[in-house]
Amino acid sequence: MIVILQPHVTPDSAEYRQLMNYLANKPNLRTRMHQEIGTRQTLTEIYLIGDTAALDKAEIESQPGVERVVRVSEEYRILGRHRDDRRPTGFDYNGVLFSQDNLNVFAGLCAVDTPEHVEQMLKALKAQGQACTRMGAYKPRTNPYSFQGHGQACLPWVFELAGKYGIKVIAMEITHDSHLDEIREALQKTGNPTGVMLQIGTRNTQNFELLKIVGRQREFPVLLKRGFGITLEESLNAAEYLASEGNSRIVFGLRGMKTNMGDPHRNFVDFAHVPVIKRLTRMPVCIDPSHSVGTRERAPDGLLDVMHVTAQGVVAGANMILVDFHPHPAKALVDGPQALTLDELPWFLEDVAIARTAYDQRRLLAERNLRPPHP
Ligand code: PEP
Ligand code: MN
């Protein structure tokens, strides 16, 4: 059960203390306070754990300072959508809104290589009015002899260049908790010129210790990729790990499933699950067409497969796109074969806008059809 407090009720208020005394008298009940710190207001919630079946929802709702009470099912307690649950579906970070109702594009390098390539990428993004990018510094590689990313060494200049080109959020994968400290330190040393969304990759979706550590910090939001060989339920539970530790600023990423059924794509594209995740949880949903498709193959209609699957995800209501670009794909140190080129960026963004318009129109059509007919 979740008790959502009125916006002005904070842990130092009289109403809060009164409510906690009232709850302390209930048998076999533990409480856990959780705060959603937004730009406009802070939302305080109290999670009730234990013998909640015996509790009277209306009685709790009548206590001073309580806005409403949500009875949660066992599944995805914090992130799930429960009955009568009108909690927000998103969050603001560094001036960028992430929600189930909007769309952000994170085009960028799979892996940071040279300052020249990073700068060319960022310049192209700025020219297109983009405020987000992807830049991998720590790369989890299948082959131990492959390039592992520049790691900590590249962070200062990547952050400074991002600030120079007005980038507000960089999606950056971490594979170890020390990377979190390195990112925090580099941001501080460079004067926080940009923000970072910590990415947990498909190989680490069930790295529970990493999830707990990343969940305990509230500074950075998290992009959690779906595990490529586990069920959707298992991946959503991984997201709940982050939330249960205190950080529910999470975007859930689809990146295709590992099975030969998807051949000739690198992975089997799973973007049909965009609306499913939005139905089950309050997380914004990201699609990663690059790691799903894995090639620059083009259909007879002239569109790259990467563009086709992007449009499919966007038409289904995706909220974020993580996509590989590179100024010279042949020189990329990681995933060059799937990267789009900088002169394809305006085309890609226009194609995304067309798909988003189609989604908006589909939403309006659904609204019109669901509205009860006039008597
Ligand atoms: C990536 O986004 O660079 C990446 C390695 O993705 P995934 O974890 O989905 O393979
Ligand atoms: Mn990659």
199 C-alpha to ligand 2 centroid (Å): 12
**Ligand 1 binding site (Cβ under 6 Å of any ligand atom):** 110, 136, 173, 201-203, 225, 255, 288, 291
Per-residue pLDDT, 72: 82
Per-residue pLDDT, 222: 98
* Rounded Cα gap, residues 224 and 255, in angstroms: 10
Tokens for 124, please give them. 């192209």
279 C-alpha to ligand 2 centroid (Å): 28
Cα dihedral value 161, 164, 166, 169, nearest 10: 30
* Rounded Cα gap, residues 242 and 315, in angstroms: 28
* Rounded Cα gap, residues 311 and 274, in angstroms: 12
Polymer length of the chain = 375
Tokens for 234, please give them. 């298992």
Q: 183 and 174 in contact (C-beta within 8 Å)? A: yes
Point out the ligand nearest to the CA of residue 141: 1
Per-residue pLDDT, 375: 65
Cα dihedral value 214, 31, 69, 100, nearest 10: 0
Q: What percent of the chain has pLDDT over 90?
A: 88
Point out the ligand nearest to the CA of residue 292: 1
Average pLDDT of 194-206? Answer: 98
Per-residue pLDDT, 291: 98
Side-by-side strand order, sheet with 320-324: 104-108, 320-324, 285-287, 250-254, 222-225, 195-200, 169-173, 132-134
The two most distant CA atoms of the chain are separated, in Å, by 71
110 C-alpha to ligand 2 centroid (Å): 5
Average pLDDT of 126-142? Answer: 97
Tokens for 82, please give them. 């429960």
Indicate the pLDDT class of residue 226, thresholds 50, 70 and 90. Answer: very high
Per-residue pLDDT, 275: 98
Please give the helix or strand (H or E) that residue 352 lies within, else none: helix 345-370
Per-residue pLDDT, 41: 76
Per-residue pLDDT, 89: 87
Sign of torsion over alpha carbons 223, 107, 162, 113: positive
Distances (CA, A) of 16 to 13, 40, 54, 290: 5, 20, 22, 48
Shortest-distance atom of ligand 1 to CA 290 = 2
Going by alpha carbons, the residue nearest to atom 9 of ligand 1 is 202
Going by alpha carbons, the residue nearest to atom 3 of ligand 1 is 110
HSE toward the beta carbon, residue 296, CA cutoff 13 A: 13
Q: 31 and 49 in contact (C-beta within 8 Å)? A: yes
Point out the ligand nearest to the CA of residue 225: 1
285 C-alpha to ligand 2 centroid (Å): 19
Cβ neighbours around 45 below 10 Å, total: 18
Q: 223 and 286 in contact (C-beta within 8 Å)? A: yes
Per-residue pLDDT, 352: 98
Least confident of 63-67, 80-84, 172-176, 195-199: 80-84
Substitution candidate for ligand 1 out of 202, 203, 226, 321 with most atoms within 8 A of CB: 202
172 C-alpha to ligand 2 centroid (Å): 11
Q: 150 and 125 in contact (C-beta within 8 Å)? A: no
292 C-alpha to ligand 2 centroid (Å): 10
Shortest-distance atom of ligand 1 to CA 253 = 9
Per-residue pLDDT, 337: 96
pTM here is 0.91
Indicate the pLDDT class of residue 146, thresholds 50, 70 and 90. Answer: very high
The answer for residues whose C-beta is within 8 angstroms of residue 43's C-beta and 6 or more apart is 4, 5, 7, 35, 36, 87, 88
Q: What is the pLDDT of residues 250-307, one digit of tens each?
A: 999 999 999 999 999 999 999 999 999 999 999 999 999 999 999 999 999 999 999 9
Cβ neighbours around 41 below 10 Å, total: 10
204 C-alpha to ligand 1 centroid (Å): 10
Q: What is the pLDDT of residues 11-42, one digit of tens each?
A: 999 999 999 999 999 999 999 888 877 767 78
Shortest-distance atom of ligand 1 to CA 228 = 9
Per-residue pLDDT, 117: 98
192 C-alpha to ligand 1 centroid (Å): 25
Point out the ligand nearest to the CA of residue 203: 1
Q: 275 and 308 in contact (C-beta within 8 Å)? A: no
Quote the mean pLDDT of the chain: 95
294 C-alpha to ligand 1 centroid (Å): 11
Going by alpha carbons, the residue nearest to atom 6 of ligand 1 is 201
Q: What percent of the chain has pLDDT over 70?
A: 99
Cα dihedral value 115, 121, 123, 125, nearest 10: -150
**How much of the chain is in helix, strand and coil states, percent to nearest 5?**
40, 20, 40
Shortest-distance atom of ligand 1 to CA 199 = 2
Amino acid letter, residue 335: D
Shortest-distance atom of ligand 1 to CA 171 = 2
Average pLDDT of 193-207? Answer: 98
Per-residue pLDDT, 53: 86
Going by alpha carbons, the residue nearest to atom 8 of ligand 1 is 201
Cβ neighbours around 89 below 10 Å, total: 16
Q: What is the pLDDT of residues 306-319, one digit of tens each?
A: 999 999 999 999 99
